[in-house]
Amino acid sequence: MREKLLQFLPDCNKQLMKVGLLMGLCLVTSPFLMAEEKEAPGVPVTVAYPERQVITEWNEFTGRFEAFQRVEVRARVGGYLKAINFIDGGLVAKGDLLFTLDSRPFEAAIASARAQLARAEANLTLAKLGLARADKLVVKKSISQEDLDTRSSTVKARQADFSAAKAALDITELDLEYSRISAPISGQISRREIDIGNLIQDDGSQILTSIVAKQPVYFVFDMSESDYLKYKRQSNKAGDDTLIGQTLTVQVRLLDEQNYDHNGRVDFVDTHLDDKTGTIRLRAVFDSNASGLLLPGSFGRVRLSAGQPGPVLLIPDAAIMADMNQKVVMVVDEGNRVQPRAVELGPMHEGLRVIRSGLESHDRVITKGLLRVRPGVLVTPQQANVGEPAS
């Protein structure tokens, strides 16, 4: 019996050792198993609720300023350029003397034309006297009717000569007037294209300088077909079937400006869409340009009112992502999971983007950390204001 007990004890010790090792292994590995059962922590992101405001929506377009009037100054007669009477780049008024040609050839031509006129007048007077005598003689049968008709024709010929001489004098006097080249409009004059001492041709091919009216100023821009139809319907409701006048509020800013400080009105809408671009051209006129900043040829941004003021949602523009042909924002749901939302965008307003549809005011929009998330990912949201810059 004792021998059997002694044989049994080693087997028990072995079993106990196995049980102990197994229990120790469970104690060591159980924390790791529990850690695996716990979910990974959420990705930290910054969220903000869309800002709700009542605003007037604007549509923006890029365009270019054009001169209200631009005139190329050319000579209407030829001659020797004697004087230049303006400063390059200066302001001139309509009628100011710009160039002076040598007037002596024109004065001599006037003197000759006056002499020709005097001769024609003398011949006409003589012909009239001859006709008067012939009228008396024909009554007495002293001359024939044929002689009377001849003298009558002579008077008419001398009258024509007199008229031609007078017209020639008028032309020479006009040429003398044209030898003094004046500004046809008021505005800013460009540089001279010819110097004193040069001979100006009489065919008008030479451009001497140019003048651009300072104000008013045109602004030309193109609008898409869909935008045009929207404004056209809006204009029709207002009783204006042309889009010209006060129906559209037009404001413009220059490339280095943040605010739209220049106010104008639409005064021209083209008659058709461009076949290549599918856009229609509009023109606005700005009556005031006292500062001279609205420079013809320079670019600017124009905005037109999109309708009556109304409530909209605003979010940072950098919080918007592109997905194929639609715009998407990432929102955080109640379970702190990322969900994509397709949105319809409106114009910018004070640095924020107008959202026309796709968002609610209670949606938590991710404004920071967009590059670290994807749809369905668990996040740890931190609340912020919508105006803070996104990344």
Q: Where are the domains of the chain?
A: 45-54+310-383, 59-67+215-305, 70-102+179-212, 104-178
CA 110 to chain centre: 51
Residue 202: pLDDT over 70:
yes
**What integer pLDDT is reported at residue 135 of this predicted model?**
81
Tokens of 319: 């919080």
**What integer pLDDT is reported at residue 387 of this predicted model?**
61
Tokens of 204: 């008008």
CA 215 to chain centre: 16
Of the ranges 126-135, 153-162, 323-332, which one carries the lowest mean pLDDT score? 126-135
Residue 242: pLDDT over 50:
yes
Residue 361: pLDDT over 50:
yes
Residue 9: pLDDT over 50:
no
Q: List, for residues 57-74, the tens digit of each pLDDT value.
A: 788 899 999 999 999 999
Per-residue pLDDT band for 145 (boundaries 50, 70, 90) equals confident
**What integer pLDDT is reported at residue 6 of this predicted model?**
44
**What integer pLDDT is reported at residue 69 of this predicted model?**
94
Q: What is the mean pLDDT of the chain?
A: 86
**What integer pLDDT is reported at residue 37 of this predicted model?**
45
**Quick one: average pLDDT of 178-187?**
96
The model scores a pTM over 0.85:
no
Fold (topology level) of 70-102+179-212: OB fold (Dihydrolipoamide Acetyltransferase, E2P) (2.40.50)
Of the ranges 16-25, 156-165, 187-196, 229-238, which one carries the lowest mean pLDDT score? 16-25
**What integer pLDDT is reported at residue 325 of this predicted model?**
86
Q: Quote the percentage of the chain above a pLDDT of 90.
A: 62
**Quick one: average pLDDT of 291-298?**
92
Strand 279-286 relative to strand 217-224, pairing: antiparallel
Distance between CA 73 and CA 209 in Å, rounded?
5
**Quick one: average pLDDT of 250-262?**
91
Maximum mean pLDDT: which of 27-31, 136-140, 152-156: 152-156
**Quick one: average pLDDT of 302-325?**
88
CA 291 to chain centre: 18
**Quick one: average pLDDT of 219-247?**
79
Higher pLDDT residue, 171 or 5?
A: 171
CATH architecture of the domain formed by 59-67+215-305:
Beta Barrel (2.40)
Which residues, 6 or more positions from 326, have their beta carbon under 8 angstroms from its beta carbon? 342
CA 313 to chain centre: 29
**Quick one: average pLDDT of 377-385?**
92
CA-closest candidate to residue 130, choices 115, 143, 116:
143
Let me know if domain 45-54+310-383 sits in CATH 1.20.58.2030. Answer: no
Of the ranges 236-245, 288-297, 366-375, which one carries the lowest mean pLDDT score? 236-245
| Domain 104-178 top-level CATH class | mainly alpha
Residue 89: pLDDT over 90:
yes
